[in-house]
Structure 1
Amino acid sequence: MPNIEVRPATLRDAKAIAQVHTFAVQEAYRGLLPEDYLRALKPEERQAYWREAIEYCEPQVMVALEGDKVVGFVGYDRSRDPKSRPTTGEIWAIYAAPSHWQQGVGLALWDAARDGLLEEGCTTATVWIPLCNERALRFHETAGFKRELATAKTSLVGGVRIEEIRLKRALH
Structure 2
Amino acid sequence: MIIRESKISDAKGIAKVHVDCWRTTYRNIIPDEFLEKLSYEQRTALWIKNLFKDDNYVFVAENNLGEVIGFADGGKRETNTVENSADLTSIYILEQYQGLGIGR
The percent identity for this pair of structures is 26
How far residue 53 of structure 1 moved from its aligned partner, in angstroms, is 1.6
SS of 1:102 mapped into structure 2:
coil
Aligned to 2:16: 19
Is contact 1:61–1:74 with CA below 8 Å preserved after alignment?
yes
Matched, 1:77 2:86: no
Residue 33 of structure 1 aligns with an amino acid whose one-letter code is I
Residue 71 of structure 2 aligns with an amino acid whose one-letter code is F
How far residue 103 of structure 1 moved from its aligned partner, in angstroms, is 1.4
Of structures 1 and 2, the larger Rg is shown by: 1
* Closer, same or farther: CA 18–58 of 1 in aligned 2, 3 Å: farther
Which of 19, 30, 39 does residue 33 from structure 1 map onto? 30
Aligned to 2:39: 42
* Closer, same or farther: CA 48–86 of 1 in aligned 2, 3 Å: farther
Aligned to 1:144: none
1:58-137 to structure 2, matched below 5 A, reads: 58-67=55-64, 68-80=66-78, 82=79, 84-87=80-83, 88-107=85-104
1-side partners of 2:24 and 2:81: how far apart? 34
1-side partners of 2:34 and 2:55: how far apart? 27
Is contact 2:55–2:76 with CA below 8 Å preserved after alignment?
no
Gaps of 5+ in 1: 108-172
1-side partners of 2:8 and 2:74: how far apart? 17
- State the superposition RMSD in angstroms: 1.4
1-side partners of 2:36 and 2:54: how far apart? 29
TM-score (norm 2): 0.88
More strand by share: 1
Gaps of 5+ in 2: none
* Closer, same or farther: CA 100–52 of 1 in aligned 2, 3 Å: same
1-side partners of 2:82 and 2:2: how far apart? 30
Deviations 1:111-161 (A, max 9, x none): xxxxxxxxxxxxxxxxxxxxxxxxxxxxxxxxxxxxxxxxxxxxxxxxxxx
